[in-house]
Amino acid sequence: DISQYLYENKSFKSKELHYDGIITEYKQLYTDTLKPTQKSLDIINSLVGTNTTTNIIGIQIRTGDKYMTGSDHQIFDDPETQIYELFLLIKSQQPSQQSYRVFITSDYVGCYAIATKVWNSGQIIYYDEVIEHIDKPTDKNNNIPTGIAKMYIDNYILSQCTSRLYISDYSNYGRIAGLSCKHGDVYDLYGTRVN
């Protein structure tokens, strides 16, 4: 967001240059700026496999800090029902004759269990680690984040390993995946293409 002010300089005064610069940086996020280590790649490959022709649908659902850190912030009043309905909607939008797997990530701990009610467990990819938030403590006793490995690996898979992506378009985490992904098939949770 701060970079927009650099483009107020008369030498750079162009919205096109600003947006092109932003998109270029996002597209290089996982290839130049935050390259995965071999350890991260090993985890990623163990989850998604090394077959690059596999069709993976990525789904990121932000329900609110209440379900992760216990704060008052919540987006979903009834995540069990709402996530289930979103999964059914997303499943209905996939071609029935096409085989695919689903990668899911969410700040709601019950997301995987809900997904198994919609897809068979062999279709679901889920990195089963402690759910993290970059600026919210997940270790309530020490009031510090426990790490960022899950956050990094989940976002990398969303953006670099999927062929279609469904994101919470109100979530910065989802937007990062959408802006840095290799394809243009990015939708909100209701199936509307995200610009």
Number of C-alpha atoms within 13 angstroms, CB side, residue 10? 0
Residue-wise pLDDT for 62-111, tens only, equals 987 554 545 555 678 898 999 999 999 999 999 887 899 999 999 999 99
Q: Is the dihedral of CA 110, 113, 119, 125 positive or negative?
A: positive
The whole-angstrom separation of Cα 75 and Cα 3 is 29
C-alpha radius of gyration, the chain, whole number: 18
Residue-wise pLDDT for 134-187, tens only, equals 555 555 555 544 567 889 999 999 999 999 999 999 999 999 999 999 999 999
Sequence letter at residue 70 = G
Token pair recorded at residue 138: 């997940």
The whole-angstrom separation of Cα 111 and Cα 106 is 7
Which residue shows structure tokens 């947006």? 19
The whole-angstrom separation of Cα 132 and Cα 95 is 33
pTM: 0.83
DSSP 193: B
CB neighbourhood size of 64 (10 A): 17
Band the pLDDT of 54: cuts 50, 70, 90.
confident
The whole-angstrom separation of Cα 192 and Cα 190 is 6
Token pair recorded at residue 143: 């009031």
